[in-house]
Amino acid sequence: MKKLYTLMAVVLLASMILTACGGTPAPTTAPETPAPATAVPPTAVPPTETPKFKVGEVTDLGGVDDKSFNASAWQGVTDAISQLGVDGKYLESKDQSDYAKNIQQFLDEKSDLIITVGFLLGVDTATAAKAHPDQKFAIVDYTYPDCYPGAEEGKTCGSSTDLPNVRGLAFQTDQAAFLAGYAAAGMTKTGKVGTFGGLPIPTVTIFMKGFEAGVKYYNQKHGTSVAVLGWDTAKNDGLFTNNFSSTDDGRKFAESLMQEGADIIMPVAGPVGLGSAAVCKETGKCWIIGVDTDWYVSAPEYKEVVLTSVMKKINVAVFNTIKDAQDGTFTGGTKTYTIADGGVDMAPFHDFDSQVSSDLKTELDAAKAALIDGSLTVDGVLSGK
């Protein structure tokens, strides 16, 4: 029995020694969970900007700052730039040979709307429009069809048919010029008033025709005989400088009309007329009636001799056309602006207002109302009907 206890003690001791030698086993630990990867945001793609609507203006001779129809058209474009957010650019035509290549440059630049300014661009605009039927055009002071018997399409006329991708912008400036002629007849001290044009083209002679009709109507109303120098509708004949750029010619023509007795002159020749205004200012012997824009505003250096102006609101017509083209309502054909819709009008008398009698102002208001309602017409007065 004693031996058994001794044996058990030896076994227990050996077990304790073995455990001590083996050491305590390392505790089992769960594998570490890797930290979730940080998500990399996708590369931001900048929003695609809608390309701006592009408008190109091809000027007629005289330059974009002619204080007349080129400048008025460009004002319409700049108004669209600020109000509609379009891109606008102009190309000046120094010579008639520039028309086609300026139009082509805007075609190459993929302009959304090409605006050409003036009667002389009629053929080149039509040629380009027919070659590019998906391109939108507008032309100031011209309409289609324009071919006449004996005219050769593409050379002496633009198109024998309507052009659906071209909007012709026309103005009944004879109505506003009628009022100016009436005012001139009522204000002249010499009994003679004068006019001259740049070129003998319809968009020029329409002013002269209306001016003559206004003077004639005044004479009918008052039993006077105020004479118009420089234009005769019955003979279809008048004075023309044959350019729209020489202010020297403007001076010469004004001096000639003054020598014949005219004390109020309406030059229909773009910047050429500024030469006439300079003569009136220097001599103090004549007053000027501006055209296209209100010269009191556009040529303030001559405001002391500007009696009034025959306004053709090209800027409004151009702006409206750009807006229509941009919003998808553009149509070709002809859009004619009249005295009824305010597209043409006579400018205020400004500094001369106090010199214009209340009776004359009342008569002018009555004449304007009659032109609007159609009871008075330029052709009717000129024909004596």
pLDDT tens digits, residue range 349-371? 999 999 999 999 999 999 999 99
Q: How far is CA 376 from the centre of its chain?
A: 30
Closest CA to 146 of 171, 128, 165, 121: 121
Quick one: pLDDT at residue 14? 46
Angle, CA of 28, 34 and 40, to the nearest 5°: 180
Within-domain flag for 365: yes
pLDDT tens digits, residue range 289-345? 999 999 999 999 999 999 999 999 999 999 999 999 999 999 999 999 999 999 999
For the cut 90, the answer to whether the pLDDT of residue 47 exceeds it is no
Within-domain flag for 104: yes
- Identify which has the larger pLDDT, 197 or 49: 197
Within-domain flag for 31: no
Within-domain flag for 98: yes
Choose the final residue of a domain: 171, 203, 233: 171
Residues 117 and 183 in one domain: no
Identify the domain containing residue 264 by its residue range.
173-311+349-379
CATH number of the domain encompassing residue 102: 3.40.50.2300
Residues 364 and 221 in one domain: yes
Residues 226 and 251 in one domain: yes
Residues 59 and 183 in one domain: no
Residues 142 and 210 in one domain: no
Within-domain flag for 321: no
Cα-atom radius of gyration of the chain, to the nearest Å? 40
Residues 248 and 196 in one domain: yes
Within-domain flag for 26: no
Residues 195 and 131 in one domain: no
Q: List the beta strands (DSSP E) in 65-207.
A: 87-91, 113-117, 136-140, 166-171, 192-197
Share of the chain above pLDDT 70, in %: 87
Q: Please, which pLDDT band fits residue 50 given cuts at 50, 70 and 90? A: confident
For the cut 90, the answer to whether the pLDDT of residue 118 exceeds it is yes
Quick one: pLDDT at residue 19? 43
pTM over 0.85, yes/no = no
For the cut 80, the answer to whether the pLDDT of residue 119 exceeds it is yes
Choose the final residue of a domain: 171, 193, 222: 171
Residues 104 and 189 in one domain: no
Within-domain flag for 82: yes
Residues 217 and 162 in one domain: no
Count of structural domains, the chain: 2
pLDDT tens digits, residue range 181-196? 999 999 999 999 999 9
Residues 247 and 369 in one domain: yes
Sequence-ordered list of residues with C-beta below 8 angstroms from that of 172, at least 6 positions apart, any chain: 206, 336, 337, 338, 339, 343, 344
User: What's the whole-number mean pLDDT along residues 72-92?
Assistant: 97
Average pLDDT, the chain: 90
Choose the final residue of a domain: 171, 190, 205: 171
Quick one: pLDDT at residue 48? 60
The secondary structure element, H or E, covering residue 232 is strand 231-232
Within-domain flag for 338: no
Instruction: State both tokens at 205.
Output: 């002679």
Residues 138 and 191 in one domain: no
Residues 221 and 275 in one domain: yes
Exposed, middle or buried: residue 179 (CB in 10 Å: 0-12, 13-18, 19+)?
buried
